[in-house]
Amino acid sequence: MIKKISEKDKKDWEEFINSKEKIFDKEFNSKKIENSNEITIDLHGFNLRDANIAIKNLIINSYNKGIRDINIITGKGLRSKNDQDPYRSNRLGILKFSVPEYIQNNDELMDKIQKININEIENMNKGKFSIRLKKKNENRY
């Protein structure tokens, strides 16, 4: 079925291509904003291995740069097919649960973390969680 483009759509398109406005860049959220004490990373589209690597690098780099808060968007995992595979855990195959577990089992990362918001992870309606990093000069005793 071929649909004719409406005059309104043509007008909107012309305004868009002639506009000087910047387009929202999803990747921008995973970059440090100068003088910001918070950073966000969106893990949509990452496989588990790449997500863990990205999180490890982000936590270490953020800690070294003095960033205190990290927001991690994992998604809810509602489209995951892990429940159809009897050899995989429904819970651990989803980034929402496996990334926090990876962090909690990594002593190098946990030495830099003050708090992981566990309530956000366990809330089935949220596809994100946050981490509060220690200040770089705080020592673990």
pLDDT in tens, 80-114: 454 554 444 444 447 888 899 999 999 999 999 99
**Contact in structure between 72 and 130 (CB atoms under 8 Å):** yes
DSSP letter assigned to residue 22: P
Q: Each residue of 79-112: b (16+ CB within 10 Å) or e?
A: ebeeeeeeeeeeeebbbbbbbbebbeebeebeeb
Could you tell me the domains of the chain? 25-133 (3.30.1370.110)
Q: How far apart are CA 24 and CA 7, in angstroms?
A: 25
What is the Cα gyration radius of the chain?
20
Burial class (CB in 10 A: 0-12, 13-18, 19+), 137: exposed
Please state, for a pLDDT cut of 90, what percent of the chain lies above it: 36
Q: How far apart are CA 72 and CA 42, in angstroms?
A: 6
Indicate whether 26 pLDDT > 80.
Answer: no
